[in-house]
Amino acid sequence: MLEDIELKLKSFSTRYMPTTNVVGFSRSILALGTMLTLLANPVRTLFIKRDNGDFVISLLENSFISKFSVFYLFGHDYQSILISKWISIIILALVISGYFIKMSSILHWWVAFSFLNSSTIIDGGDQIASILTLFLIPICLCDNRKNHWNKKIDRESVLNIISIFFLFLIKVQMAIIYFHAAVGKFSHSEWANGTALYYWLNHSFFGMPEYLSFTNNFLSNSYFIILATFGVLIIEILLFLAIFSNHKYKIFIFYIAIPFHLIIIFYMGIFSFFFSMLGGLILYLYPTHKNFELCQRR
């Protein structure tokens, strides 16, 4: 009896072990999102607040978290943070390269966590990146490949089980994100009556950019805006329900979720959020035990 269970467990762990280039691609996407944010924004935008026209105050607080932050590593004056910024970019480039999986996974979380707790321009995507990179550490520590772009290799069942367990936690986390995103809107009258998107897209800060003003005719149409508003809720609910679905449904909703988040980029301009959600969606919906076919060697 015990031998049968052990054999089934071994077969399951071998079949579904997530040491594939799919997980590697997700890690690279998460790192790319943070890297682009660091590259595209100067230090004064990322970390320093303006006081009477001069850059005089660092927003890094004198606390344990700030001292743990990579951006506090050399101090919190301008030059020190600039050095820390480029160290972070190098770490993220290392993650994208796929080498030194074990070490880079810890460093990746350190950068993501530090940015979340140190920067002044964070959004929900930075919170998600910090959580996902933390859950990826045990998976990466169990990964004995030289590069996360390589095909998976045989390894001990215990390591496979650990990786599968933490990948399951990531899936649960992503499901919770979409569940909360949908259900959290139910109590707001604008979402209940279908007008929320109209107000969001015309918001002075979060609203759509001028180059999309040609879509105003659609956004002023009551039928269209109601359909679009309820469409957002439906997609988020379907993404939550995907955790209970089969492989075909997961792939189907995956290819709906990508343009859904791309639209958020174009209309609200939160690029880092897209990369965090894409990295999470790959781990959540795509079969992580299989390599991307286009990346396989023939």
Mean pLDDT by groups of 10 residues along the chain of 298 residues:
58 67 94 95 80 52 74 82 93 96 96 90 90 96 89 73 92 96 90 85 71 72 88 95 93 94 83 92 90 57
pLDDT of residue 18: 76
The rounded distance, in Å, linking the Cα atoms of 233 and 179 is: 10
> How confident is the model at residue 16, as a pLDDT?
64
Domains in the chain: how many in total? Answer: 1
Q: What is the C-alpha R_g of the chain?
A: 21
Query: Which pLDDT does position 296 carry in this prediction?
Result: 46
Q: What domain range is 18 assigned to?
A: 2-295
- How confident is the model at residue 295, as a pLDDT? 45
pLDDT number for residue 3? 59
Amino acid identity at 164: I
**pTM of the entire predicted model:** 0.87
